[in-house]
Amino acid sequence: MTQEVHAWLRAAKRIAVLTGAGMSAESGVPTFRDAQTGLWAQFDPMQLATEEAFRANPSMVWGWYAFRREMIAQVDPNAGHLALAAFAQRHPGRLTLITQNVDGLHQRAGSAGVLALHGNILEDKWLDIPKPCCDADSAAAGNPPYCSGCGNMLRPAVVWFGEALPLQALDAAQAAARECDLMLVVGTSGVVYPAAGLARTAAGKVVIINPGPTELDDAADAVLRGKAAQLLPQLLED
């Protein structure tokens, strides 16, 4: 089956790749719930990932994300990240990379134009609509940093529960799914929508790459059981 998928990749003019938490877990990034260690073991991460939680206790939520940022800084892109970036560089315009991950590992591996559906934990944005006085580069130090002029706070640039996905990235991802000859779905359980729905709307063949069963296996033309860091370098060889 691996050889057949390799042949599909070589023939495909437009390839879409959707990656999930399993891809980053292979680099050592704890999944959302696995990050509950030490001080944070007493908290439910789902209760920290909302605007309401941030407004109620901004220092605690900022501290949670600072904790996760520190963990991400200690890991590196794995062979799967690097294989995707290298393939895209060798074949400009053929591959669209869509990710549910917020850790920036695809970008660090060298992938350009990544459609980060859930944002980027390493970046900040203003909690409220910024006023002319809001300049992130000169924000007052704090937990979180804030505008000294109006008090607007910086927050992690991730999509919290109850928030819409970034429209531009979602539109581009949906277009890539509709237009692809082949979609690789890598390291995702397939339970988080609307990202998981991309595999069910893909115009071309769908290949699942995951160590265990996923909710999208029934939509696949091929299922490869294994880790992305092992399979992607093999599949993406020219």
Measured between alpha carbons, how far is 217 from 235 in angstroms, rounded to an integer?
Answer: 19
Does residue 118 have an active-site annotation?
A: yes
How would you class 94 by CB atoms within 10 Å of its CB: exposed for 0-12, middle for 13-18, buried for 19 or more? middle
Is 82 in contact with 110 (CB distance < 8 Å)? yes
CB atoms within 10 A of CB 90: 11
One of 6, 81, 106, 118 is an active-site residue; which one?
A: 118
List residues with catalytic annotation: 118
